[in-house]
Amino acid sequence: MTRTLTRAWEEILRPMLKRPNRLQVAALCYRTGASGKEVLMVTSRGTGRWIIPKGWPIEGKDGPDTALQEAWEEAGVKKASISKRPIGEYNYVKRHDNGADEPVTTLIFAAEVEQLLDDYPEATERTRQWMDPEQAATLVHEPQLQDVLRQL
């Protein structure tokens, strides 16, 4: 009987009760420098770890437009050519200020930077830096994002 209940929980009830991951979008901002492609990384406001600009969907904007908005606010990307379809995705667990954890799937859009400004909304809250994709991959925590960076 216990085995039947455990199996019912694991195979039927638990999957039905599990909420799907929330969705974010990200801009993998890049340029071609003298030694090849470089990616623009920013630090998170909470922990200061290296990330790519990302955020929650914005009403009235599609994925690429939302990703560009986040790139402007978090990294000062004023103008960029962005992919219409995601080039990849990664999953992570977001810890909210109240201590709650939430699973998130982040769609990644490639954004070739054409104009970068020093005065942008979160300039005083974050550090930004151009780096080669391999260096960036070693600094991020998410294995799926590391793979996307290494493929660039």
Residue 117's contacts (CB-CB under 8 Å, 6 or more residues apart) are 76, 78
Note down the domain range covering 88: 20-151
54 domain residue, yes or no: yes
Q: In this structure, what CATH number is given to the domain that contains residue 82?
A: 3.90.79.10
Residue 49 lies in a domain: yes
* Residues 139 and 91: beta-carbon distance below 8 Å: no
Q: What is the pLDDT of residues 132-144, one digit of tens each?
A: 999 999 999 999 9
pLDDT interval class at 52 (50, 70, 90)? very high
> 69-105 pLDDT, tens per residue?
999 999 999 999 999 999 999 999 988 888 888 899 9
3-state secondary structure the chain: CHHHHHHHHHHHHHHHHCCCCEEEEEEEEEEEECCEEEEEEEECCCCCCEECCEECCCCCCCHHHHHHHHHHHHHCEEEEEECCCCCEEEEEEEECCCCCEEEEEEEEEEEEEEEECCCCCCCCCCCEEEECHHHHHHHCCCHHHHHHHHHC
- β-strand partners of 111: 29, 82
Domain count, the chain: 1
Note whether residue 6 is domain-resident. no
